[in-house]
Amino acid sequence: MTGRASHVRFLLLLLVAGLSLFLPACHRDREVLEDNEEIYRKAQEYLARRRFLEAIQVLGDAGMVTPVGRDLDPEIKLALADAYYYQGGTVNVIEAQSRYEQFLSFYPLHPKASYARYMVGVCLFEQGEDPENDQDFSLKALRHFERMIRELPPDDPWVAPARVMYLRCQDRIAEHEWIIASFYWKGKHWMGAIRRLEGLVDRYPASRRREEALYRLAHGWEKVGKPEKAREVARKLVEEYPSGPFAARVRTEGLLLAPVPAAAGGEAPSTGSSSS
């Protein structure tokens, strides 16, 4: 046993010695910058050339020799977050989100805080699943952008991009609801489909699926013997999308039994008869 223990210790010593030789060699693979301003400048060069991993590596040297100045520190933190984000991949996006959030915790009033806040939402959105799967991250991103739009001044330059992302979140989640509603519909589970379609229509009004969802919802109420509900939804469809293809369909399918507002440049039908 003593001989075996000595042999193990000898192997460990060899391993440590090998590592001590290997690590400095790795460190010498690239120039280690000492000046933080130069580190930041070099990182910006790498970012502009889409060499994101090298940007991450050089930014890791910041503060190693001399402390980072108060004005430069937020720029370095943000550049590192950007480098992780653009490097791509789920692990890097998660790391980027953490670093944008760290930036905001240190510099909540920085001129670039709105940008960092926007990027937190983008990272959440990118961690979202395909519409067929769970939409927890998409919902988190939706609420994040909703808060941004509500809380930031209307003239903040990142409000408009936040609105675009808010609509993208609505579209993805609405698509998820549509897939589930379609599953119920195919199985003739009408009330299950109706509940999902109602949720899509009410909660995601900006989604591209909403018009078609209203059309199917009207038919759903018809199938469960609720013609008054079917007419109510059909009227809503025609009022909100008067020139759309689904409004034309409900006019010709007998779902409308009362006058509705005329579409621009056209006349509203007074009965369920065909109308162009």
pLDDT at 35: 85
Under a CB-based contact definition with an 8 Å cutoff, are residues 157 and 114 in contact? yes
Instruction: State how far the Cα of 218 lies from the Cα of 198, in Å rounded to an integer.
Output: 10
How would you class 273 by CB atoms within 10 Å of its CB: exposed for 0-12, middle for 13-18, buried for 19 or more? exposed
Q: What pLDDT, in 10s, does the model give residues 144-191?
A: 999 999 999 999 999 999 999 999 999 999 999 999 999 999 999 999
HEC-encoded secondary structure of 46-79: HHHCCCHHHHHHHHCCCCCCCCCCCCHHHHHHHH
For residue 163, give the nearest of 150, 176, 174, 172 by alpha carbon.
150
Q: What pLDDT, in 10s, does the model give residues 31-71?
A: 666 788 999 999 999 999 999 999 999 999 888 877 888 89
Sign of the dihedral through C-alpha 76, 82, 85, 87 = negative
Of residues 9 and 81, more confidence is placed in 81
Q: What is the mean pLDDT of residues 71-98?
A: 96
Instruction: State how far the Cα of 173 lies from the Cα of 81, in Å rounded to an integer.
Output: 27
Among 5-14, 98-107, 240-249, 265-274, which is the least confidently predicted range?
265-274
Two structure tokens written together for 111: 């001129």
**How confident is residue 134, by pLDDT bands cut at 50, 70 and 90?**
confident
pLDDT at 253: 84
Instruction: State how far the Cα of 208 lies from the Cα of 254, in Å rounded to an integer.
Output: 25
Q: What is the mean pLDDT of residues 5-16?
A: 40
pLDDT at 65: 73
**How confident is residue 132, by pLDDT bands cut at 50, 70 and 90?**
confident
Q: What is the mean pLDDT of residues 79-86?
A: 97
Give how far Cα 65 sits from Cα of 25, 26, 33, 57, Å: 20, 19, 9, 15
Which positions ≥6 away from 129 have C-beta within 8 Å? Answer: 135, 137, 138
